[in-house]
Structure 1
């Protein structure tokens, strides 16, 4: 088995959302209390602290993520006292307070036993339910995690049914905006031995309208969801 403590290096998907943080319509970051779901190596946690976030909680199921995120915060000359690292499945995480901002880049590749590895790298890239497992959990948990008036920023792969997520959160009263759309390659080289299996799964999802891609190219949507301040949307 592969080393289960490995942490995924920032990918093009992750970097796309980082770029969107500079969008004119992106929320202000100074003084906020933020949650980084699936923090990995700490890409977003570092960026949020550097941009003036008062506190950042880095949440990841991989135990190696906490040490790597803290190390990267210190390496960038930032105050590690403003960082809290939590190792927990998202389903089981219950914070003491809700956050002003939630940032996440969920895994988006469909699961198959033939290429399942069970290590930290797989959990960062592959998800059950056709790649939607973490997206669905984020949607289910968002009212618990996000303060009224708060913002969810999500890097959403077109391989994992963008319209479904938008529809679900819009139905809850969240205002939705697309900050940017980035085109990139499906990371098939990482699964070269099982490329045909993965493409077959993706093509099945595309045939039912649950995935969009052209050849080996797909898109990542930098999405912003704003939770209403109250039940009547104000």
Structure 2
């Protein structure tokens, strides 16, 4: 999940449409950002009438979006206790039927299968491969590659998708959209980039810009990143 641009109240997307953030954010969880709003556009399109799983749920925004557009069932998973608390509180406040579970990615759902899996994972490259276990950095640090969590999602998502099920992911093009497509394809999920959006760097990307340039991940004058939404279907 990329860094903060939003504040409390309504959030306006680049396309000018407004999306209401979840009303409560427990300390230790992250605000709804451009990446979640971008992925929510696909959730509104794909979730009605389907069994939905939202992994790395954070405040529960995507899970609640799925519930509010008529998903037949919604499960939300996060490893962070504040995220689980936030999602549970928000689902109660919005009277949304969301089954909230704490655990590591797909482990909490066991043998269940879903028609739609959505995920906004931590994907900002970090100077260390050791993922944080607490604090806000847990929401965005993706190890030196930025792909530590994303690659695990790509590797294992087919196992929780029902036949013909769909996965929808969002991340920065800085970490390589082709890698995501290839990794999903190798697991039997044919995917494509369905949306791109250019946004200015927020605080985390700004602070790491010089380091990212030294690794060849950013150009000398780059001050923006492109968010990509990848949607794939299990054969």
With the length of structure 1 as denominator, give the TM-score of the two structures: 0.79
Contact 2:51 2:73 in 1 (8 A): yes
Q: Number of residue pairs matched?
A: 207
2:74 aligned with 1:52:
no
Query: Contact 2:79–2:104 at 8 Å: present in 1 too?
Result: yes
How far apart in 2 are the matches of 1:54 and 1:145? Answer: 17
Q: 1:62-89 CA distances to partner (integer Å, 9 max, x unpaired)?
A: 11112211221222232xxx31111112
Q: 2:224 aligns with which of 202, 217, 220?
A: 217
- Which has a greater percent of helix? 1
The CA RMSD over aligned residues, in Å, is 2.4
With over 3 angstroms needed to count, the CA separation of the structure-2 counterparts of 1:167 and 1:61, relative to structure 1, is same
For 1:146-225, list aligned pairs within 5 A: 146-187=161-202, 189-190=203-204, 195=207, 198-205=208-215, 207=216, 211=217, 215-225=222-232
Matches within 5 A, 1:31-46: 31-46=49-64
Max Rg structure: 1
Q: Which residue of 1 aligns with 2:8?
A: none
Question: Within 2, Cα distance between the matches of 1:55 and 1:94?
Answer: 13
Q: Is the 8 A contact 1:41 1:68 kept in 2?
A: yes
| Post-superposition offset of 1:175 | 2.5
Shift of 1:212: 6.0
2:20 is matched with: none
Do the aligned residues in 2 keep the contact of 1:91 with 1:137 (CA within 8 Å)? no
Alignment of 1:74-113 (within 5 A): 74-78=92-96, 82-90=97-105, 92-112=107-127
1:35 is paired with a residue whose SS is strand
CA distance in 2, matches of 1:123, 1:146: 26
Q: Secondary structure at the match of 2:145?
A: helix
Structure 1 gap segments, 5+ residues each: 229-234
Q: Structure 1 residue 118: deviation in Å?
A: 4.6
Shift of 1:140: 1.3
State the TM-score, normalized to the length of structure 2: 0.79
Q: Using a 3 Å threshold, how does the CA distance of structure 1 residues 36 and 212 change in structure 2: closer, same or farther?
A: farther
Q: Secondary structure at the match of 1:178?
A: strand
Q: Does 1:73 align with 2:130?
A: no
Q: After TM superposition, give the deviation of residue 60 of structure 1 in Å.
A: 0.6
Structure 2 partner of 1:226: 233
5+ unaligned residues in a row in structure 2: which ranges?
Answer: 1-25
Higher RCO structure, 1 or 2 (CA under 8 Å, sep 6+): 1
Number of the residue aligned with 1:231: none
The whole-number CA distance in structure 2 between the counterparts of 1:173 and 1:118 is 31
